[in-house]
Amino acid sequence: MKIIYLAILALVPSFMVGQSLNNIESVEYDPINDAWLVSNGSSIISQDHFGNHTYFSEGVASAGYGMEVIGGNVFVIQNSGALAGYDLTTGEEVLSLPLGMTFPNGMATDGVSRLWVTDFSTGKIGEIDVTDLDNPVLSIVVNFITTTPNGIVYDEANDRLLFVNWSSNAPVTAVDLSDYSTSDIINTGVASCDGIDDDNDGNWFISSWSPTRITKYSPDFASSEIITVPGLSMPADISYSKELDSLAIPNVGTSEAIIIGFGPTSIDDLPKENGFFSIYPNPVTDQSAAHFSLATSANVKMEIRDVQGKLITTLVEENLAPGKHRILFAGLNLEKGYYICNAETEGNVFLYPFLVQ
């Protein structure tokens, strides 16, 4: 059975690390130490599952942007624009390579020997072969992309790269690795896309800043679901841990790492219920979410009230795009008892009672 959980993992307070934690950009799962690595500008923070924070490599290692794990090493983009590699067991530096890019930002890997890095400023993509750590080979394989490439991922099933763009109506663009030609897969309809990654079932997750959201796409991008995360603010270079079935979101706006574990892979997996929306599971735990679909864009207000009608929290109050939506309940810390979820849209009001045990 898969478990849904969400933990907002505040990074190390400044009095513990002697610096301001306002440079968070990427989060990557470290399978060797069973922890999350967070890029923090001049350092890398290691976060375990109990909320404890330590410096990775005793503060010697640094990462400013994208990170990827291959085998026993983590590769990172530093603020200096160089690619560095660190041994996950010892923390020792195993690779240092100037990339010669203006703004290297996103990074992807095939998990074997290749890395790809996007240049946000000049529209280039570099490929690095790290088979020989002492002699890595860097090649610029894509030049002069007219958009601003940001997060990037390797699509193993189609032997291609997919990257998102920092633009209005930002496209998801594919790079055919047989000839390095590019083509747009889909226009997302959102702006300022930052990160992209896939799960065990081939679904794609994309983070955007305008509007602030996580969008989940089916493997062929034919359908999508909007995932609303409490406290989401400027989500950056997201990363999906296939080992844990969890999505890590660097929440730049609050300098926190948000970790979401997923249960049902889509709303189609849930029990069918009549009405505008459903809450599942119910009784509600951290595994629950409100699910609904919109045929057209609409103003939606969704609140949680107690049985006396007192407002507990507002889950969402904004104009939402058409399609499937998932509003997470995890992290709300509701006390035991009965509640009513009020959903209002286009003059219609729906009431959905639920129980927290």
State the pLDDT at residue 50. 56
Domain that holds residue 248: 5-261
Mean confidence (pLDDT) of the chain: 85
Please indicate, yes or no, whether residues 48 and 128 belong to a single structural domain of this protein.
yes
Residues 290 and 323 occupy one common structural domain: yes
Choose the final residue of a domain: 261, 295, 323: 261
Residue 191 has pLDDT above 60, yes or no: yes
Q: Average of pLDDT values for 110-115?
A: 97
The confidence band for 276, taking pLDDT boundaries of 50, 70 and 90, is low
Q: Residue 266 falls within a domain, yes or no?
A: no
* 219/301 same-domain check: no
The predicted structure's pLDDT at residue 49: 65
Task: Quick: pLDDT tens for 219-258.
Answer: 999 999 988 787 789 999 999 999 888 899 999 998 888 8
Name the domain count of the chain.
Answer: 2
Answer with the one of 193, 227, 261 that is the final residue of a domain.
Answer: 261
Q: Which of 18-32, 240-254, 282-296 has the highest mean pLDDT?
A: 240-254
Q: What is the pLDDT of residues 134-145, one digit of tens each?
A: 999 999 999 978
Domain boundary among 261, 292, 316: 261
Residue 267 lies in a domain: no
pLDDT at residue 348 tops 70: yes
Stated pTM of the model:
0.77
- How does strand 212-217 pair with strand 239-241? unpaired
> Is residue 53 scored above 70 in pLDDT?
yes
Instruction: Reply yes or no on whether the pLDDT at 103 is more than 90.
Output: yes
Residues with Cβ within 8 Å of 87's Cβ and at least 6 positions away in sequence, in order, are: 72, 73, 93, 94
* Confidence (pLDDT) at 289: 84
Higher-confidence residue of 155 and 342: namely 155
- In a shared domain, residues 216 and 80: yes
